[in-house]
Amino acid sequence: MTPENFIKTNAALNHAPLVPEITLYLASEVVPLWRATEDELVEIGVPPPYWAFAWAGGQALARYVLDHPEIVRGKRVLDIGAGSGLVGLAAARAGAATVLSADIDAFACAAIALNAAANGCELAITKDDLIGTPLAWDLILVGDLFYERPLAERLLDWLVPLGVPALLGDPGRNYFPKTQVEKLASYSVQTTRDLEDREIRETGVYLLSRP
């Protein structure tokens, strides 16, 4: 089964609660999709389907971008660890000159392409791991990527000295930085207990400050 067929079979077009303007292929039932991925695709090493859920940090960051289009308008934007592509799609909608959505999961890349088509948006997609590489971007968007230590450390080691403004959306994950961030906005994001430990997550959007 191709990634595109898997996505269309196991997810349906829907809207994230905080960002109803954007249509996404989302899992209507969380547990069956995780089991389908494990049972059907474990032999080829497919990672968990993070692309099938609108995580709180991504929703908050997408909402902030749509409500403050001047943040991205006319700029070259990178959405790193893009998942469903929600944040990058928000940037495209808000008038970014170019958007690159990057995710190392081939299924996420397929989902981003399907979601872009569903929204009539144009953006570039890459499966390359861009963390650690020098990039010519005007703004980097990071939605909900501080959920594990190795990834969080790699991100910060790259972003802090890079010299490119970075906006972070995060609901208080364990490895979100405690310093060098300026809170720009707060949102109450509806989630599900299948994914989170509560139904509403208080989620912030932050600007990563330079040393």
Q: Is the pTM of this model over 0.85?
A: yes
Query: Exposure string (b/e) for 17-44, b if CB count within 10 Å is 16 or more?
Result: ebbeebbbbbbeebeebbeebeeebeee
Report residue 121: phi and psi, to 5°: -105, 150
Q: Which of 158, 161, 11 is nearest to 83 (CA)?
A: 11
Which two three-digit tokens encode residue 109? 């890349």
Distance from the first to the final alpha carbon of the chain: 47
Note the pLDDT tens digit of each residue in 176-194.
999 999 999 999 998 876 6
Cα–Cα distances in angstroms (integers) from residue 8 to residues 30, 84, 109, 110, 192, in the given order: 15, 13, 14, 10, 22
Residue 101 belongs to what domain range?
3-208
SS3 state at 130: coil
- Please give the Cα distance from 82 to 152 (Å, whole number): 15
Exposed/middle/buried for residue 77 (C-beta within 10 Å: 0-12, 13-18, 19+)? buried
> Which pLDDT score is estimated for 104?
95
> Which pLDDT score is estimated for 40?
64
Q: Residues of the chain whose pLDDT is less than 70?
A: 30-31, 34-47, 193-195, 197, 211
Report residue 96: phi and psi, to 5°: -60, 145
- The percent helix, strand, coil of the chain (3-state, each to 5) is 35, 25, 35
Exposed/middle/buried for residue 141 (C-beta within 10 Å: 0-12, 13-18, 19+)? buried
> Which pLDDT score is estimated for 119?
98
- Give me the CATH number covering residue 46: 3.40.50.150
- Please give the Cα distance from 181 to 14 (Å, whole number): 32
Q: Which amino acid, residue 23?
A: T
Paired sense of beta strands 166-170 and 98-102, if any: unpaired
Q: Which of 186, 170, 207 is nearest to 58 (CA)?
A: 170
> Which pLDDT score is estimated for 60?
98
How many domains, in total, are found in the chain?
A: 1
> Which pLDDT score is estimated for 136?
85
